[in-house]
Amino acid sequence: MNPISVGACALLLSLAGATAVARLWPAPAAPRTTGRRRLGRSPMRSREVLETGVAYCPLENRDRRHHFLRLGGRLCECGHLTRENAR
């Protein structure tokens, strides 16, 4: 055998060994999530929001923080838009 084929064989064996070790390595635990994406900040511009307060969210069946909109309706922090009294 010539030295180039010995070196190529050694390289392939070392890469195969590194791949096997990487696949057997324990993965870090996934972060615990609720499955819902939360809004980091309000997607509404400040001129569209009259005030912010607590109101009943029909989607989650509990009181949540809402943005009361200028044209009527309100936007919950979960992202649900209620169009009551909209003009």
Task: Give the full edge-to-edge strand order of the sheet including 74-76.
Answer: 49-57, 62-69, 74-76, 81-82
Report CA Rg, the chain: 28
pLDDT interval class at 2 (50, 70, 90): confident
Percentage of the chain lying above the pLDDT 70 cut: 76
How many angstroms separate the CA atoms of 64 and 52, rounded?
Answer: 11
pLDDT interval class at 11 (50, 70, 90): very high
pLDDT at 59: 84
49 within domain boundaries:
yes
35 within domain boundaries:
no
Which residues form the domain of 50? 3-25+43-82
Number of domains forming the structure of the chain: 1
Looking at the predicted structure, is the pLDDT value of residue 17 above 80?
Answer: yes
How many angstroms separate the CA atoms of 2 and 63, rounded?
Answer: 77
pLDDT digits (tens, 9 = 90+) for 40-58: 555 556 677 788 889 888 8
Give the pTM: 0.44
57 within domain boundaries:
yes
52 within domain boundaries:
yes
